């Protein structure tokens, strides 16, 4: 019987293959079910192999490449106690995130229809509206290795940030299609509560401002030790 990670890869390839025309809800449910079964030992992930050098300026995040083809990518991210995955987007992508070690605080946002900024302190941002995204909160929750995966679509929850809770955390990440030239990651910050939509009763509207890649986010690398994956 194929290893769980191979089963996941096979289903992801079938689900996200563009030649199928569109992503089937039934196939996506199969991918989510396979993702939910993945545990750290299925990937031969050893948390003791991760170097934590917070006091000496070590990388706040460790990246482990698992697999990549023309359709999707699979990676493991290890967030060290003082690290984070900053708020970022996934242009036109589906994404699944399964915690395999520790727990994380995940916040995600869904883009809304464009609205107006009323607060005078932020009127200068209207001159460059491409750097602003009007969003509402999609999820704000603690996720552990005992929980099922979280996932995003090109529309729902496409902006998210991930922080570790009570120590180091790790998660398996599947993106379809993956980041590539022409499909790049953008980083954002949430503007203050004094930025309001034209409908002042809509307290759920928030604004994200595009920023440069945060200086406190970079990765070192570890070699994947788990089962090989065949295309």
Domains in the chain (CATH in brackets) are 4-222 (2.60.120.10)
Write out the chain's pLDDT in tens, 231 residues.
Answer: 789 999 999 999 999 997 666 899 999 999 999 999 999 999 999 999 998 776 556 899 999 999 999 999 999 999 999 999 999 999 999 999 999 999 999 999 999 876 665 554 455 555 555 678 889 999 999 999 999 999 999 999 999 999 999 999 999 999 999 998 788 999 999 986 444 444 444 457 888 999 999 999 999 999 999 999 997
Residue 49: φ, ψ to 5° = -80, -10
Q: Is the pTM of this model over 0.75?
A: yes
The phi and psi torsions of 126 (rounded to 5 degrees) equal -65, -20
Query: Can you give the C-alpha Rg of the chain in angstroms?
Result: 19
Distance of alpha carbon 70 from alpha carbon 68, whole angstroms: 7
- Buried-state track 84-110, b at ≥16 Cβ within 10 A, e below 16: bbbbbbbeebbbbbbbbbbbbebbbbb
| Closest to 51 (Cα-Cα) out of 69, 84, 78, 31 | 78
């Amino acid at each position: 019987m194929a290893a769980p990670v191979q089963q996941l890869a096979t289903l992801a390839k079938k689900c996200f293959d563009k030649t199928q025309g569109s992503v089937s809800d039934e196939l996506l449910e199969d991918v989510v079910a396979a993702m939910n079964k993945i545990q750290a030992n299925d990937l031969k992930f050893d948390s003791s192999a991760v170097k934590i050098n917070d006091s000496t300026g070590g990388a706040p995040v460790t990246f482990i490449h698992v697999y990549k083809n023309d359709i999707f990518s699979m990676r493991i991210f290890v967030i060290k106690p003082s690290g984070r995955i900053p708020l970022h987007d996934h242009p036109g992508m589906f994404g699944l995130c399964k915690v395999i070690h520790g727990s994380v605080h995940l916040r995600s946002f869904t883009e809304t229809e464009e609205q107006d900024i009323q607060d005078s302190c932020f009127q200068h941002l209207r001159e460059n509206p491409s750097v602003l995204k009007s969003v509402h909160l999609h999820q704000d929750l603690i996720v552990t290795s005992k929980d099922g995966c979280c996932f995003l679509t090109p529309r729902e929850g496409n902006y998210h940030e991930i922080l570790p809770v009570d120590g180091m955390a790790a998660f398996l990440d599947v993106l379809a299609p993956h980041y590539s030239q022409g499909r790049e990651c953008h980083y954002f910050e949430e503007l203050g509560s004094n930025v309001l939509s034209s409908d002042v009763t809509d307290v759920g509207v928030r604004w994200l401002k595009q920023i440069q890649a945060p200086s406190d986010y970079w990765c070192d690398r570890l070699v994947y030790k788990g089962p090989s994956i065949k295309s």
